[in-house]
Amino acid sequence: MKKIITTILALTVGLFVASAQESDRKWEFDARVGVNIGGTSPLPLPREIRKIEAYSPQFSPSVEINATRLINSRWGIGSGIRIEKKAMSTHAQVKDYRTEIIGEGGNKLRGNWTGDVHTNVENWYISIPVQALYRLNSRIEFTGGLFAAYLIDGSFDGYVNDGYLRKDNPTGDKIVFDKKDKGTYDFSNEINSLSWGLQAGAHWSATQHIRLSAQLTWGVNELFKSNFKTISFSMYPIYLNIAAGYRF
Domain that holds residue 68: 2-247
pLDDT tens for 91-138 read 999 999 999 998 666 778 899 999 999 999 999 999 999 999 999 998
Q: How many CA atoms lie within 13 A of 69 on its CB side?
A: 19
Nearest-angstrom CA–CA distance, 248 and 244: 13
Read off the pTM.
0.85
Please count the structural domains in the chain: 1
Nearest-angstrom CA–CA distance, 95 and 114: 4
Residues 6/194, Cβ–Cβ less than 8 Å: no
Give the pLDDT score at 182. 87
Residues 190/151, Cβ–Cβ less than 8 Å: no
pLDDT tens for 40-78 read 999 888 999 999 999 999 999 999 999 999 999 899 999
**Structure-derived torsion over alpha carbons of residues 15, 20, 22, 24, reported in degrees to the nearest 10:** 130
CATH of the domain at 79: 2.40.160.20
Give the pLDDT score at 54. 96
φ/ψ (deg, to 5) at 172: -75, -175
Give the pLDDT score at 3. 56
Nearest-angstrom CA–CA distance, 97 and 113: 5
